[in-house]
Structures are given as C-alpha cells and as structure tokens.
Structure 1
Amino acid sequence: MTENAQPIKVDIWSDIACPWCYIGKRKFEAGSGLFAGGGDGRGVEIEYHSFELSPDTPVDFEGGEAEFLARHKGIPEAQAQEMLDRVTGIAASVGLAYDYDHLQHTNTVLAHEAIHFAKAHGKQLELTERLLSAYFLEGRHVGKVEELSALGGEVGLDPDALTAALESHEFLGAVRKDQQTAAEYGINGVPFFVIDGKYGVSGAQEAQTFARVLEQVWNTRAEAEEVSA
C-alpha cells in the first residue's frame, strides 16, 4: 500500500472503572506502534465506545475496592484483595501505578457521557486517557459532574459546556447506543477491540498479538485491493 493508505479503524469498548481496559490500552498502543513501524502508510484510527461493567454501582460507594469486588463477585474479601494485588502487578509491568488504597469506586455513566462530549469536540482520546489516569492512579472521583468538568478542562474542553451537557444528559442516548451495539456484537466483557469492522479481539492481549492482528488485517486488505485492481 502507499503512504496515502487509509488507517485501520479500531473500535474499542471499554469502561473507565475496568483495570484491564487501561492495561489493554497500553498494550494496544505498544502493539499499534509496532505495526505502524512497518511503514507503507500503516496506521490506526481509534474510537472508544461505552460499556458499563457494573451499571448498578452507586455514585458514592462506601467502602474499599476489595470490599466492592468481594460483593460484586460473591467471593471472600481476602480473595478479592489477592486479585487486586495481581492486577496491580500487571499494571506496573506496563508503566501504570494503580492506587487501590485511594481509588473512589463510582458509577461510570457520567464519565461515558463526558467521553461522548469529548468525541463531539475532537478530544475523545485525550479525555479517555485523562479519566483512566484520574481514576486508577490519582484517586479522583469520576462520578461527579464537577470533577469530570475539571478533568475535561485539563484536556482543552470547555468546562462550562461540559457541565451543561452532563447535567442535561445530552449524550446519554449515545452511551445507550454504544451499549446496544455491544449487545448486538455479543460483547459481554471489556476491553473488546473490533478491527476494521470485521475482526474481534477480546481482552488485554500482549502488544505483539495486537501488532500481528493489525498486520494480518492490513495484508488482507492489500490482497483484496490487488484482486479488485
């Protein structure tokens, strides 16, 4: 293909409160970087989509993350803590310092609405990264309008406009549409990557796996173009 080739579209379903989504984000970024390093115009275009792992979560959850996980999965709190310790170690391996001692578990629907607002203003990727960092690394409360508006301002969004959009739930319909599409695809866990609208990859795969899938899609597209030429 040429330098004018179209990038591969990657649609990612994720949740701000999903630890594997942030880990998967880092691994996908590394994998897409390996893929792009092959030249010939290789590149990806990313769009995030809403998925709520626990839509019944209260905005203000009283208790720690191990307690929430124990309740949610119906397991002993000690086992839940072991799971958190494991994911913390995996996060560290991709440069993310998860801070479960200060994490504020919350309902994420407003965060998803904020990400759709950011998408409408060309800042979706920036706000997605900012909210994941705020939630997992900084102990910020991403379930509140004022906090989301402040974080949006940090990536160049208009805080007042974001506040108005969140208070009116202007983008709630877009969130629900994403969730409906996930159901139609049969997505029941995140992160989930839909590549070129045809190929699904589930979970926080290794960078090399993502790079290999992208390369396969690229080559399949090139072969199809040669046949039709």
Structure 2
Amino acid sequence: MTLRVDIWSDIACPWCFIGKRRFEAALAGFAHRDDVRVTWRSYQLDPSLPERYEGSEQEYLASVKGMSSEQVGQMLGTVSEQARTVGLEYDWDRLVPANSLRAHLLLHLAAGTGGVDVGAVKDDLLSAHFLRGEAISDPEVLVAVGGRHGLSEEAVRTAMEDDRLHAEVLGDFNTARSIGVTGVPFFVLEDKYAISGAQPTELFAQALQKVWEEAHPAPRNFITLDSDGDAPACGPEGCD
C-alpha cells in the first residue's frame, strides 16, 4: 500500500521551494519512502500577474502588498535567511516577476509523460525563478527546462496551447479552493491530514510516520502467561 501526498504550490512562491526541500529531507529519512507517492498540484498566488512584470520583485511586492520598500526588504531578508538553511541562495535582484501558468502547464506535461521525474522538473523551474533569474513565462526557458528532463521541444511548445493540460491546471486551482487552500505550500496526506506552510523537517517526518502507522497498524504481540505444564483447552479437534 502506498502513502499518498498531494502538494499544492506555485513556482513564484519562495516558501514553496523551502517547503519542498524540508519535505524531501523528511522523506529521505522515512523508512517507507519508496512507498510514498507524491503528486504536485498547481496553484497560483497571483493569476493576474502579467507574463513579465516591468519592474523588480521588490517593486512588484510593494505594489501588490501595499508595503514600503523597507518593509519589503525586511520580508525578503527573512525569507533569504530561511532559504539558506536548506542550501538555497535567492537572488532577488535578478529575479524576474512573471506569470507562472505556463510553468504549471510544463509540470502537467511532465506528469503525463512516463519516465519523467516531476519533482526534478519542479526543482528546475524553482531554481530558474529564484536562483538563475530566468522568466518562467518565457517559452524558451521552459523548452530548456523540459529538455533537461527528457521532454522534446515540440512537446513543450504544444503543451502551452493544450486545452487538456489547461483544464488539468484549472482543476488543481478549483480543488484547492474547494478544500480551503488559501496559501502555499499546502500538503495533504492520504486525503486526511493537511500541513500548511514550509514547516520544519521534523514535523513532516512526524506526519509521515503517523499516517503510515495508522494505515499499517502493528500486529499484536501477546505475552503468554502460563503455569508449569499445559492447561486444559479446546481446539479444532476437540477439548482436552
């Protein structure tokens, strides 16, 4: 029996990258990790964001959150500190604010293509956005990412206009709304337990163990108490 984990996240979400690293660290130390099936679900923090915002990440955040430049700088500083704890060095100056819809289409293409590690594609997209300063809405960037994971240029370009993949992405958005997701990352284990946010690795590890034990209860081990010699008893062939 597998343990199902659905993860809603956005490529344009710094905490989603941190949460991914923390969850994967917990999974790496989980005894039954080979029996865990992870499904990456799509979510957009800002569907109205243009394909490419004409300005910096700091300017974008200040405009949408109504914060001062100083407040945005403090917020990004806090995020950067947490990112470093999982080996990530965010480059806010190079980051290109861009709509993430096409990146989600690439992820759904990867999920429907046999032999492709969707988690690795997700990692590559997050790295493109937060570490390499690439526009995740740019088809050329997506073709390059897809190519590194065995997806052809034709398949990636076709995916950008694929109605079926669009429907799948929108389906993830709608499911998120229906279960009350208001922020990401958001983890759902076995459709029963939810974990919101980039929680510590230890919490993810505890959740995996708890859900596994509930699904696979340990057999009862009785200690037999008996006097010297066999006591009278009944069995399939009769009674003593």
Asked if these proteins are the same fold (TM beyond 0.5), I'd say yes
Which residue does the alignment assign to 2:208?
A: 214
Asked if 1:11 is matched to 2:44, the reply is no
**CA displacement, residues 162-217 of structure 1 (integer Å, 9 cap, x when unaligned):** 11121345411101000111011100100000001211100001111000011110
* Number of residue pairs the alignment of both structures matches: 218
Distance in 2 (alpha carbons) for counterparts of 1:200 and 1:60: 33
**CA displacement, residues 35-69 of structure 1 (integer Å, 9 cap, x when unaligned):** 23xx6x76421110010001110111111111111
Distance in 2 (alpha carbons) for counterparts of 1:169 and 1:159: 18
Note the residue ranges of structure 1 that are not aligned, 5 or more in a row. Answer: 1-5
Which residue does the alignment assign to 1:47?
A: 39
2:49 corresponds to which of 50, 54, 57: 57
1:72 corresponds to which of 54, 61, 64: 64
Distance in 2 (alpha carbons) for counterparts of 1:138 and 1:43: 33
Counterparts of 1:140-179 in structure 2 under 5 Å?
A: 140-179=134-173
Which residue does the alignment assign to 1:81?
A: 73
Q: CA 1:220–1:52 in structure 2 vs 1: closer, same or farther (change >3 Å)?
A: same
- Seq. identity, %: 42
Which residue does the alignment assign to 2:24?
A: 29
Could you list the structure 1 runs, at least 4 aligned residues long, displaced by more than 3 angstroms after superposition.
167-170
Distance in 1 (alpha carbons) for counterparts of 2:81 and 2:111: 32
Contact 1:66 1:77 in 2 (8 A): yes
Cα RMSD (Å) of the superposition?
A: 1.6
Contact 1:35 1:43 in 2 (8 A): no
Distance in 2 (alpha carbons) for counterparts of 1:158 and 1:126: 16
Distance in 1 (alpha carbons) for counterparts of 2:149 and 2:197: 27
Structure having the higher Rg = 2
Asked if 1:99 is matched to 2:91, the reply is yes
Q: TM-score, normalised by structure 1?
A: 0.90
CA shift, 1:11, in A, is 0.3
Which residue does the alignment assign to 2:182?
A: 188
CA shift, 1:8, in A, is 1.2
Contact 1:20 1:191 in 2 (8 A): yes
CA shift, 1:32, in A, is 1.4
Distance in 2 (alpha carbons) for counterparts of 1:46 and 1:14: 13
Note the residue ranges of structure 2 that are not aligned, 5 or more in a row. Answer: 221-240
2:109 corresponds to which of 110, 113, 117: 117
Distance in 1 (alpha carbons) for counterparts of 2:191 and 2:61: 33
What code does the residue aligned with 1:144 have? D
Tell me the secondary structure at the aligned position of residue 213 of structure 2: helix
Distance in 1 (alpha carbons) for counterparts of 2:219 and 2:174: 36
